[in-house]
Amino acid sequence: NFVSAVVPPEEIGVKFDDIGALEEVKQTLNELVTLPMRRPELFSRGNLLRPCKGILLFGPPGTGKTLLAKALATEAGANFISITGSTLTSKWFGDAEKLTKALFSFASRLAPVIIFVDEVDSLLGARGGAFEHEATRRMRNEFMSAWDGLRSKDSQRILILGATNRPFDLDDAVIRRLPRRIYVDLPDMENRMKILKIFLERENLDSSFQLDKLANATLGYSGSDLKNLCIAAAYRPVQELLEEEKKNGRKEPAPVLRPLNLDDFIQAKSKVGASVAYDATSMN
């Protein structure tokens, strides 16, 4: 199962340039991960420059944490393994302990490798008191001890990259093992422009279309919301054409779709809103 889940860097298909915005986050990840993985010899002496073993990406849903993790593996030339907290605890219930052991022994053979743990809170969340299932508890302990047990030779080239929308649910023991914590924020006006530019690069846009107006109208939208909004807008000319065909019959060859205009996006907002509640006073 793991073998099929490992993606070699040349097959990941996402790089930092495909991510609009988040420039500071990309730069930090390059310093913490790309450089030590690509040039381990520069990090092998002394105590100050040590590669980082664990990083936590936290922030609202849909802001590009998964995308960042994949792109980072491309940049660092590392194999990529992705596990999701909730699937691991439900699907592999019982076997999860064995699986965790296998994961870590497998990872040492695959180094350099990035193990991305999405929803790290549900895998390694705060100890759940009386209602916590015994199997979950055992798996968490197994995960922690396997993690601690990475030989120092391996640890240089194995990174655990956790992601969560709920950082406050994390156990102290996990927080300690993820010493670098990076906030992945909702995009501001300028960054929404950058993200939209990526999604609309190859679309047929009306000459009156103004990107800054759209960025301005999407306060509080995450990268993922922006993508869904663009998809909904792009659907409108198709729908119009279908309605026209319903009335007047289908023409051959099918007429070219009309270009997208700002109104398509504004109308699409009623279908795709911002999925995160935000404080408008703190954003622009």
Q: Which residues bind ligand ATP (CB under 6 A)?
A: 19-22, 61-67, 118, 163, 165, 195, 198, 223-224, 227
Which of 155/222 has CB closer to ligand ATP?
222
| Shortest CB 63 distance to ligand ATP, Å | 4
- Taking CB atoms, the residue at the shortest distance from ligand ATP is 223
**Residue among 151, 169, 164, 156 nearest 116 (CA):** 164
Hunting for tokens 């010493």 — which residue is that? 179
Query: Any idea what the Cα angle at residue 76 is, between residues 70 and 79, rounded to 5°?
Result: 60
- CB 5, min distance to ligand ATP, A: 17
Output the smallest distance, CB 97 to ligand ATP, in A: 25
The H-or-E segment that residue 115 falls in is strand 113-118
- Measured from the CB atom, the residue of 50 and 227 that comes closer to ligand ATP is 227
CA torsion sign for 60, 62, 66, 70 is negative
Which pairs from 23-26 meet CB under 8 Å and 24+ separation?
A: 25/57, 25/68, 25/182, 25/184, 26/68, 26/71
Shortest distance, CB of residue 68 to ligand ATP, whole angstroms? 7
Phi, psi of 220, rounded to the nearest 5 degrees: 90, -5
Alpha carbon separation from 53 to 47, 112, 194, 201, 254 (Å, rounded)? 14, 12, 31, 37, 56
Residue tagged 């019959």 (tokens)? 249
- Residue 173: CB atoms within 10 A of its CB come to 13
| Residue (9 or 167) nearer to ligand ATP, CB | 167
Instruction: Report the residue number, 21 or 150, with the smaller CB distance to ligand ATP.
Output: 21
The least distance separating ligand ATP from the CB of residue 242, rounded to whole angstroms, comes to 26
Nearest residue (CB) to ligand ATP, 67 versus 96 = 67
Q: In what order do the strands lie in the sheet with 158-164?
A: 6-7, 79-84, 113-118, 158-164, 54-58, 180-183
**Contacts for 173 with CB less than 8 Å, ≥ 6 apart:** 144
CB closer to ligand ATP, 36 vs 64: 64
**Pick from 245, 183, 257, 191: nearest CA to 222:** 191
In the complex with ligand ATP, the residue whose CB is nearer, 22 or 96, is 22
Q: How far is the CB of 222 from ligand ATP (least distance, A)?
A: 6
